[in-house]
């Protein structure tokens, strides 16, 4: 059995390598370039932009105009921004400026009451924003306009931030390449022949390209952390039950999935993670004790190089080297002796995620009019001849939903039990002062469509969703292909602030976000 699994693994890798060769011939290595960033305000953290607006060093209207210009400059190459509310945003920016100019509140009062006053932001199109489309990349929802705004977006608006539009996602947000038959495919700002990840892929790209000041993503299998990683920015999936999942499509249908799913910030600068999560969490932010100081030198640091799963690609040497450098950096700078782990159950990341993700409702019910295996196969043929509203991977995922466990059966319960065992192991290891460093993903951004050859690579992030733990994707520079690399840092439940402290420290040591290729 073990031998056969090894043989299948080697065969899969061999086929994926041959396919990669053909992908490289097909796409070449030169994609479209995006223009250099010329406005300094786009190279500032959101907290600094907010301060400058409050202190009348720049107006909200000027910041918004700069973002709009930048979005227009980069979107033909990236196809990441899909719907705007520029006019309404401009009205809100004028109102913000008028409030500041009126002098009715001091900058200190504004900082307390409306910390992001006048700061433009974007979110993915699976989040309800009143008056904008709410499709999740599903053709059946193409005319659906949200009649209310998701809790998390409302909280950000109450903090003074201004939503300027929506970014692209994969069909039903359930794949890690951003492509659908409504808005098309999104390209990576570092190399447009490569993927941006998913499902918050449009958001990853617009943040990396500096088209908005901060972004909001959501993550049930890595959808914040993978696009953050592929696009060289910071992204945080919060502790379970911290940020309201209201107003998101698809909604989490079970208690378990509500724990897996998290909405969080996607940003160019680590310093923005904490204040944004504080606002997004609303009343629940108090349990995170975000203002408690964290001494990185006092943290217990654990790390693991690979899940050792035979269903997943080996971890790229650039990522392994980067993780080693992080361990060395923490030793030299903070005298922290990190401990290497070999957590056996991480090998089972793929079956744990795949089986515990089962719901009563079948996947195809969200994306197709006709249901059942036969209907899916018919739709696949239609896809091949270019006549389907569904993506091929959407249909493959629908088909795969007819394999493995059924919601609530013995197989499902077995995998829930495995998840609980791993949860206990992580809780004991991390305690109140521990962090776990782990690859966010085994490879840098693949060519478009290439994830089909390596479908389960998302499990490095997916397994952390099953545990409900907070995790931040941290950029660590560019690898040998000129594409972003990095790791994720995981902490115990409600210890999100430890992830932020590590993110800020590694940003200092490794440079954080790097402006993408310029024309
Ligand atoms: C060609 C071989 C295809 C093998 C079957 C692939 C089945 C894939 C099923 C599920 C993949 C889910 C990927 C989740 C990515 C992120 C989800 C998220 N919203 O956080």
Query: What's the average model confidence in pLDDT over 116-137?
Result: 98
Dist. CA 173 → ligand 1 center (Å) = 10
Q: Which atom of ligand 1 is nearest to the CA of 465?
A: 20
Residue nearest to atom 7 of ligand 1 (CA): 397
Residue among 44, 51, 52, 124 flagged as catalytic: 124
Q: Which atom of ligand 1 is nearest to the CA of 220?
A: 20
List residues near ligand 1 (CB under 6 A): 173-176, 199, 219-223, 396-397, 400, 452, 455, 458
Asked whether 197 and 247 are in contact (CB, 8 A), the reply is no
Asked whether 219 and 237 are in contact (CB, 8 A), the reply is yes
- Best substitution site from 175, 358, 450 to test ligand 1's pocket, by max atoms within 8 Å of Cβ? 175
Q: Domain-by-domain residue ranges, the chain?
A: 41-358+404-510
Q: What is the pLDDT of residues 132-185, one digit of tens each?
A: 999 999 999 999 999 999 999 999 999 999 999 999 999 999 999 999 999 999
Write the CA distances from 280 to 211, 264, 273, integer angstroms.
21, 7, 10
Dist. CA 44 → ligand 1 center (Å) = 35
Question: What does the block give as tokens for 245?
Answer: 């999942």
Dist. CA 397 → ligand 1 center (Å) = 6
Query: What's the average model confidence in pLDDT over 438-456?
Result: 97
Dist. CA 179 → ligand 1 center (Å) = 13
Residue nearest to atom 11 of ligand 1 (CA): 175
Confirm whether 285 is a catalytic residue: no
d(CA 429, CA 468): 15
Residue 298 C-beta-side C-alpha neighbours within 13 Å:
7
Q: Has residue 331 got a pLDDT over 90?
A: yes
Residue nearest to atom 10 of ligand 1 (CA): 397
Query: What's the average model confidence in pLDDT over 374-387?
Result: 95
Query: What's the average model confidence in pLDDT over 445-465?
Result: 97
Residue nearest to atom 9 of ligand 1 (CA): 397
Asked whether 78 and 189 are in contact (CB, 8 A), the reply is yes
Task: Give the alpha-carbon dihedral of 265, 268, 273, 279, to 10 degrees.
Answer: -50
For the CA atoms of the chain, what is the radius of gyration? 22
**% the chain with pLDDT above 90:** 94
Q: Has residue 447 got a pLDDT over 80?
A: yes
Confirm whether 400 is a catalytic residue: no
Residue among 159, 223, 244, 309 flagged as catalytic: 223
Q: What is the pTM of this model?
A: 0.97
Asked whether 422 and 468 are in contact (CB, 8 A), the reply is no
Confirm whether 105 is a catalytic residue: no
Q: What is the pLDDT of residues 221-267, one digit of tens each?
A: 999 999 999 999 999 999 999 999 999 999 998 999 999 999 999 99
Asked whether 283 and 290 are in contact (CB, 8 A), the reply is no
Q: Which atom of ligand 1 is nearest to the CA of 452?
A: 1
- CA nearest to 278, candidates 135, 158, 142: 158
Dist. CA 164 → ligand 1 center (Å) = 30
Residue nearest to atom 17 of ligand 1 (CA): 221
The pLDDT value recorded for residue 518 is: 62
Mean pLDDT estimate for the chain: 96
Which residues, 6 or more positions from 54, have their beta carbon under 8 angstroms from its beta carbon? Answer: 100, 107, 110, 111, 117
Q: Has residue 79 got a pLDDT over 60?
A: yes
Given the candidates 3.40.30.10, 3.30.300.10, 2.120.10.30, 3.90.1300.10, the CATH classification of the domain at 41-358+404-510 is 3.90.1300.10
Reduced to 3 states, what is the DSSP secondary structure of residue 239? coil
Which residues, 6 or more positions from 499, have their beta carbon under 8 angstroms from its beta carbon? Answer: 236, 273, 435, 470, 471, 472, 489, 490, 491
Q: Does residue 194 or residue 253 have the better pLDDT?
A: 194
Residue among 60, 199, 307, 388 flagged as catalytic: 199
Question: What does the block give as tokens for 188?
Answer: 């990576």
Dist. CA 455 → ligand 1 center (Å) = 6
Sign of CA dihedral 336, 340, 345, 346: positive
Q: Has residue 64 got a pLDDT over 70?
A: yes
Residue nearest to atom 8 of ligand 1 (CA): 397
Query: What's the average model confidence in pLDDT over 384-388?
Result: 94
3-state secondary structure 107-122: HHHHHHHCCCCCCEEE
The pLDDT value recorded for residue 32 is: 86
| Cis peptide bond N-terminal to 328, omega within 30 | no
- Best substitution site from 180, 249, 397 to test ligand 1's pocket, by max atoms within 8 Å of Cβ? 397
Residue nearest to atom 4 of ligand 1 (CA): 455
Dist. CA 349 → ligand 1 center (Å) = 13
Residue nearest to atom 15 of ligand 1 (CA): 175
Q: What is the pLDDT of residues 23-49, one digit of tens each?
A: 999 988 778 889 999 999 999 999 999
Question: What does the block give as tokens for 393?
Answer: 């991977």
Which residues, 6 or more positions from 84, have their beta carbon under 8 angstroms from its beta carbon? Answer: 68, 71, 164, 165
The pLDDT value recorded for residue 519 is: 53
Q: Which atom of ligand 1 is nearest to the CA of 222?
A: 20
- CA nearest to 462, candidates 308, 357, 361: 357
Question: pLDDT class for 448, splitting at 50, 70, 90?
Answer: very high
The pLDDT value recorded for residue 253 is: 87
Dist. CA 115 → ligand 1 center (Å) = 38
Asked whether 204 and 242 are in contact (CB, 8 A), the reply is no
Q: Has residue 124 got a pLDDT over 60?
A: yes
Q: Which atom of ligand 1 is nearest to the CA of 224?
A: 20
The pLDDT value recorded for residue 239 is: 98
Reduced to 3 states, what is the DSSP secondary structure of residue 124? strand
Question: pLDDT class for 1, splitting at 50, 70, 90?
Answer: low
Q: What is the pLDDT of residues 340-361, one digit of tens each?
A: 999 999 999 999 999 999 999 9
The pLDDT value recorded for residue 516 is: 96
Q: Has residue 415 got a pLDDT over 80?
A: yes
């Amino acid at each position: 059995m073990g031998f056969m699994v090894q043989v299948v693994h080697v065969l899969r890798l061999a086929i994926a390598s041959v396919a990669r060769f053909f992908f490289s011939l097909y796409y070449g290595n030169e994609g479209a370039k995006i223009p250099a960033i010329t406005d300094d305000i786009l190279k500032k953290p959101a907290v600094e932009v907010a301060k400058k607006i409050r202190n009348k060093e720049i107006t909200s209207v000027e910041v918004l105009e700069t973002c709009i210009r930048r979005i227009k400059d980069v979107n033909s190459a990236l196809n990441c921004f899909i719907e705007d509310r520029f006019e309404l945003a401009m009205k809100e920016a004028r109102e913000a400026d008028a409030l500041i100019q009126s002098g009715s509140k001091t900058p200190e009062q504004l900082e307390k009451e409306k910390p992001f006053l006048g700061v433009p932001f974007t979110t993915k199109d699976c989040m309800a924003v009143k008056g904008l489309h709410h499709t999740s990349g599903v053709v059946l929802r193409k005319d659906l306009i949200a009649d209310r705004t998701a809790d998390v977006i409302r909280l950000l608006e109450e903090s003074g931030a201004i939503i300027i539009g929506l970014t692209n996602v994969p069909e039903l947000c359930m794949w890690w390449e951003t492509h659908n038959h409504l808005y098309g495919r999104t390209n990576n700002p570092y190399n447009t022949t490569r993927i941006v990840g998913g499902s918050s892929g449009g958001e990853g790209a617009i943040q990396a390209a500096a088209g908005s000041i901060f972004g909001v993503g959501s993550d049930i299998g890595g959808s914040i952390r993978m696009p953050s990683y592929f696009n060289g920015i910071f992204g945080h999936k919060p502790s379970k039950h911290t940020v309201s999942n209201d107003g998101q499509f698809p909604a989490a249908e079970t208690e378990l999935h509500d724990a897996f799913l998290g909405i969080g910030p996607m940003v160019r600068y680590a310093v923005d993670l904490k204040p944004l999560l504080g606002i997004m969490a609303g009343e629940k932010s108090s349990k995170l004790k975000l203002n408690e100081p964290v001494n990185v030198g006092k943290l217990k640091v654990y790390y693991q190089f690979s899940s050792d799963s035979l269903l997943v690609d080996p971890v790229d040497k650039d990522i392994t080297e980067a993780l080693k450098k992080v361990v060395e950096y923490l030793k030299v700078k903070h005298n922290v002796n990190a401990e290497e782990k070999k957590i056996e159950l991480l090998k089972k990341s793929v079956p744990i995620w795949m089986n515990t993700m089962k719901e009563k409702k079948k996947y195809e019910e969200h994306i197709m009019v006709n249901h059942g295996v036969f209907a899916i196969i018919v739709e696949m043929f239609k896809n091949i001849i270019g006549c389907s509203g569904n993506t091929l991977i959407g249909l493959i995922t629908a088909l795969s939903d007819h394999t493995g466990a059924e919601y609530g059966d013995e197989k499902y319960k077995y995998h829930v039990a495995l998840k609980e065992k791993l949860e206990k192991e992580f809780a004991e290891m991390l305690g109140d002062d521990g962090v776990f460093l782990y690859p966010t993903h085994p490879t840098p951004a693949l060519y478009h469509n290439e994830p089909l050859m390596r479908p389960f690579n998302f499990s490095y992030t997916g397994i952390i969703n099953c545990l409900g733990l907070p995790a931040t994707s941290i950029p660590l520079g560019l690898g040998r292909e000129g594409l972003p690399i990095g790791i994720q840092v995981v902490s115990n439940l409600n210890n999100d602030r430890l992830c932020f402290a590590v993110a800020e420290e590694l940003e200092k040591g490794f440079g954080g976000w790097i402006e993408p290729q310029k024309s």
